[in-house]
Structure 1
C-alpha cells in the first residue's frame, strides 16, 4: 500500500501575489519599484563618470556622478496604485538625452574655456586681469576670443560663440533591459519575501 501526499504550495503563493497586485493594493509594490529605479539610475550615472573623460584634459567636474546622480530621486508623493515617479531635477540631462543647440541667456555670447585654469569660470568673474577681445575675421558662429597679453605673450582664455550644438548621447540613460531586469528581480523578491520579519 502506498500513500501519496500532495502539498499545494503554488496556490497560496499565487493568491498572495494576487492579493498584492489587486486593484487598490499596488501602491506598496510601486514604492519598492520606484526606489529600485532610483538606485539603478544613480548607479548608471556614477558608472558614466568613469567612462566619460574630459576631452580637453580640464579638471573633472564629476557631471555624472555628482550633478546628475544627486539630482535623481524617487518621489514618494507621486506614487499611486499604477505608477512610481523618479525625477531627474537637473535640466542639463535634457541636453544629454535629446541634444540640441543653445545660445547664451545672460550674455551676448557663450564663452567656451580654452584652458584648464578657467574651466567652470565666467569671464566676468575677473579671474584673469587685462582681458581683451580679439575679433574673428572669419565670421560664422565664432565671434572671437578673450585673451590677455600682447604679441608672443598673448594667451587665449575663452572662445566666444553665438551658439553651441550638443549631440544626443545614446548612453545618457541606462539601457531599458538593464532597468527592467532589475525591477523584475526586485518585484519577485517583494512577492516572496518572508511573511514576518522580512524586509521588502
Structure 2
C-alpha cells in the first residue's frame, strides 16, 4: 500500500520530534573544581555554577551548568574523578583546579601533569574548554610562585583553549567579599566572580553549542 507523500512527511515529523527536541536541549557545561565553586559555606543555589547558569540564561543562553566542585580537591583529585564527575553529554568544561595544590605546596610539575591529563580527556570528548587560572598565595614563597603561576597560560597556549587568567579576580584581597575564613567568596563575592567571567563563559557556550 502506498501512502500519500504528505502523510509520510507528517508521520516522520512526529517520530523525529523527540530527537529534535533532545538535540535542541540546553548546552551542558560542567565546572570541574574545588570548594571555590562547590558552594562552601553558602546556601543552596548561591554557588558559582548555579549563579553562572542564571546569568547566562538571563543573557538568552539555553544552558545547564553542572556543579562538579569538591571541597579540598587538588588537580590530581579532579583527574581521578573526571569520568564520574563530567557527564558524557557535557559539551563544555570550565576547569578550576590548582589552588589547593599551591596551598599544600604540591610540586607544580605534578599539578601541571594532572591538569594536562584532564585537558586530554576533554579533548578526546570534543569538549569546548575554558581554563580558570590561579596564582599561588604569596605565603607559598616567591620560588614556588615562579614555578606555579605560569602553568595556566602555558596550558592554554599548548591546547589552544581560552584562559581566564585568575578565577578570584575582583575578590582576592577584598575581605568584604569573602566568608569569615578569609578564603572563600561570600554570596556577593560569587556575584563578582560571575560578572567578571561571564564574557568568557558566553564564548564557551557558543563554542560548545557549535560542537554539539
Instruction: Name which one, 1 or 2, has greater alpha-carbon Rg.
Output: 1
Give the TM-score, by structure 2 length: 0.20
Give the TM-score, by structure 1 length: 0.20
Between Structure 1 and Structure 2, the one with more helix by share is 2
